[in-house]
């Protein structure tokens, strides 16, 4: 907290600006898109300050940075979702989840966590299915599969029963769960029924998720450096 907290101050300030101005509730504009994306831009700077960039070979960390970039593009598309750009935003976040899954890796496998995540995601889709129509019937299914897979890989990396866990792996796990809560709230609010305080729930969990996942990139960079030196 002492070492990373001060570096996240711009992110916290940008998040406060979003909730104070609450511009995305007004007519879509490039300014409201900027305010919505500003916290994610601050996370880019946070990772760049840790030496994470595409010119240096830190594969896991670089994929998280790339995921944040696609997330910002997805955020911008969703500002204009009523103008027909919802699917574009969905695609950007689908790519984000693929990148995050790749960053979290396939070791340890933890099939029990995968089975549990599969049951949770199947239950969510079964509930949403009757509300879906047209291309959303299969697009939402694919998206849920991708975010469920991302959640599985984040949970699998968090082994609380032994000495292999770390705070940053825990942050990745919690971040992935919050991301799923955010997206489930979007789906319920858009396809099923109005969710009270939906925008606050969606954005609060989303920003927290992205911050925690960005924090996990710091250690993945350090682990790769340690393996190279060894």
Backbone angles phi, psi at 101, to 5 degrees: -60, -45
Which two tokens mark 82?
């009523």
Report the predicted TM-score, pTM, of the whole model to 2 decimal places: 0.92
The predicted structure's pLDDT at residue 5: 84
Domain ranges, residue 217: 4-228
Which two tokens mark 198?
């939906």
The predicted structure's pLDDT at residue 226: 46
The predicted structure's pLDDT at residue 162: 56
Quickly tell me which residue has 């924090």 as its tokens. Answer: 215
Which two tokens mark 221?
């960079």
Q: In total, how many domains does the chain have?
A: 1
* Cα 155 from Cα 169, distance rounded (Å): 9
Closest CA to 160 of 148, 173, 179, 149: 173
One digit per residue, the tens of pLDDT, for the chain of length 230 reads 667 888 999 999 999 999 988 765 667 889 989 999 999 999 999 999 888 877 665 788 999 999 999 999 999 999 999 899 999 999 999 999 999 999 999 988 999 999 999 999 999 999 999 999 999 999 999 999 999 999 999 999 886 555 555 777 889 999 999 999 999 999 999 999 999 999 999 999 999 999 999 999 886 655 555 455 55
């Amino acid at each position: 907290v002492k070492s990373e907290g001060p570096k996240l101050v711009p992110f916290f300030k940008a998040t406060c600006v979003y909730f104070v101005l609450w511009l995305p509730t007004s007519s879509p504009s490039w300014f409201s898109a900027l305010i919505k994306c500003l916290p994610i831009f601050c996370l880019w700077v946070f990772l760049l300050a840790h030496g994470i960039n595409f010119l240096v070979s830190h594969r896991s960390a670089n994929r998280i940075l790339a995921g944040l970039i696609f997330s910002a593009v997805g955020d911008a598309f969703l500002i204009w979702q009523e103008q027909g750009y919802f699917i574009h935003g969905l695609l950007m976040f689908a790519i984000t989840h693929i990148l995050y899954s790749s960053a979290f890796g396939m070791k340890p496998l933890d099939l029990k966590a995968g089975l549990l995540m599969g049951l949770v995601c199947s239950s969510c889709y079964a509930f949403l299915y009757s509300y879906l129509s047209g291309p959303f019937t299969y697009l939402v299914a694919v998206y849920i599969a991708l975010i469920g897979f991302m959640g599985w890989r984040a949970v699998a990396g968090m082994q609380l029963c032994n000495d292999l866990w770390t705070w940053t792996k825990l942050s990745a796990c919690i971040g992935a769960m919050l991301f799923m809560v955010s997206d489930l709230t979007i789906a319920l609010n858009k396809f099923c029924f109005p969710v009270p305080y939906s925008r606050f729930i969606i954005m609060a969990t989303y920003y927290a998720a992205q911050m925690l996942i960005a924090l996990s990139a710091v250690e993945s960079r350090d682990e790769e450096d340690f393996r190279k030196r060894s």
